[in-house]
Amino acid sequence: MPIHDNLAEALSSTIRSLLTELNSVQNLLGSLKRGIDVIEIRTSAGRPPAVAAVDSSRKLANYSMAFIYAIQAVAVAVGLGGSEDRFFVDTDAGYLVVSPRTGERFSDEIVSRSVGFLSRRLEVSTLLRASENVEVALFDGSLFYFLWYSKYPKIPRGLKSIKGRPTRLRDIWRSIVKNLDSLAKSGVVPVFISKSIRRSYYVEKIVGLDSSSSTLPQLKINDILLINALRRIGALPSGTFILEPIYIERIEDLPRPLNTLEGEDRSLVEPLVPVTITYAIFNPVAQPYQITIPGRWGWDELGELISSLYPYSQSGYPDPLRLAHRLCEIEEREFKNVLLKLGVSIPTGREFLGELV
């Protein structure tokens, strides 16, 4: 497909603007005087724990008269002590017929969001199945991603699933939180490892940026930029380490909209608070990953827990999570081919653009 001259010029202007803003951020980071205390990862911490990791993949096909979705979750239970790896797979699929007879109006976004909630629920339930004789459970994403709250709107009435159909996103959300609580109460430690971040806790602590600030360029700094800048100037070690933990002690301090929970919903989340937040670098050339764990983990026990994961994470990212991701992934082409082979012939309206299925 062509990129026309006008688009090339627009991209050139955009990149120049982006680099200017990034330079202003780097200048601010270079002026930082205060560092962050760290815990060194012990690379010979003894026997690694038995670990389970989970991930899921989802696809949503949007036809002119219907949506079809598919979810695939895979949990792997591994141990480096000679025990055989175990794999657990669970799936969900469903559809929504767009019919004027129902008189129901909804957006594509709510369908996509519903499938996203169903995917998270499937991840947690599949991990629960894999958690027997496991000490640590690894999730891809932050704890706050799994706890993200949605009371409204209703799931479209026509959405049909092989797993049954709750009436609200809140019903799925409650199931996710209850299963996470059950996992923690079983003695398994849930550890959430996030590649991307939506809120920066160390920027607020080190740079002094508060939630009401509108100062630029502070607003463009995130935790990962901050950590990497401190590594470059020698304020953080060049090897493997864990940042001093930050604690969220109360529900009122959780990210929005979790900080507004009331009644039964609040009581469901309370057992998972306080929350410990840190970043870990398992390999000197790897990026930092945000780690969130339910409970208040002190320095020593946090260092022991994260160090125990090092044998699985020498590449920079936990291998059990990498394996779960690879095994659950649904490729777009494969998904469309399966639908074709199963006889789906619903038009999308895009056939004349050369986009089949």
Q: Is 52 within 8 Å of 137 (Cβ atoms)?
A: yes
Q: What is the DSSP string of 126-191?
A: HHHHH-TT-SEEEEES-HHHHH-----SBPPTTEEETT---SBHHHHHHHHHHHHHHHHHTT-EEE
The answer to the question of residue 116 being in a domain is yes
Number of domains in the chain: 1
Q: Which of 50-59, 259-268, 305-314, 340-349 has the lowest mean pLDDT?
A: 340-349
The answer to the question of residue 65 being in a domain is yes
- Residue 238 and residue 67: Cα distance in Å, rounded? 49
Mean pLDDT of 311-318: 94
User: Which contiguous run of DSSP H or E holds residue 17?
Assistant: helix 5-30
Give residue-wise pLDDT tens across range 159-196.
Answer: 888 777 667 888 889 999 999 999 999 999 999 999 88
The answer to the question of residue 16 being in a domain is no
The answer to the question of residue 179 being in a domain is yes
Mean pLDDT of the chain: 84
Q: Closest Cα to residue 75, out of 335, 315, 320?
A: 320
pLDDT above 60: residue 216: no
**pLDDT given for residue 32 in this prediction:** 60
The answer to the question of residue 10 being in a domain is no
The answer to the question of residue 7 being in a domain is no
Mean pLDDT of 273-283: 96
User: Which domain covers residue 118, as residue numbers?
Assistant: 39-339
The answer to the question of residue 8 being in a domain is no
Give residue-wise pLDDT tens across range 27-49.
Answer: 666 656 556 889 889 887 667 89
**pLDDT given for residue 31 in this prediction:** 59
Q: Which of 134-138, 154-158, 224-228 has the lowest mean pLDDT?
A: 154-158
Number of H helices, E strands in the chain: 10, 11
**Radius of gyration for the chain, computed over Cα atoms and rounded to the nearest angstrom:** 23
The tokens for 322 are 């990498």
Q: Is 75 within 8 Å of 53 (Cβ atoms)?
A: yes
SS3 call for 290? strand
**pLDDT given for residue 211 in this prediction:** 44
pLDDT band at 210 (very low <50, low <70, confident <90, very high): very low
Can you give the pTM of this predicted structure? Answer: 0.86
For residue 206, give the amino acid letter: I
Q: What is the dihedral of CA 343, 112, 125, 306, to 10 degrees?
A: 130
Q: What is the DSSP letter of 233?
A: T
* Pairing state between β 136-140 and 51-62: parallel
Give residue-wise pLDDT tens across range 56-88.
Answer: 999 998 877 788 999 999 999 997 655 678 999
The answer to the question of residue 55 being in a domain is yes
CATH of the domain at 50: 3.30.2170
pLDDT band at 267 (very low <50, low <70, confident <90, very high): very high
pLDDT band at 214 (very low <50, low <70, confident <90, very high): very low
**pLDDT given for residue 99 in this prediction:** 67
pLDDT band at 290 (very low <50, low <70, confident <90, very high): very high
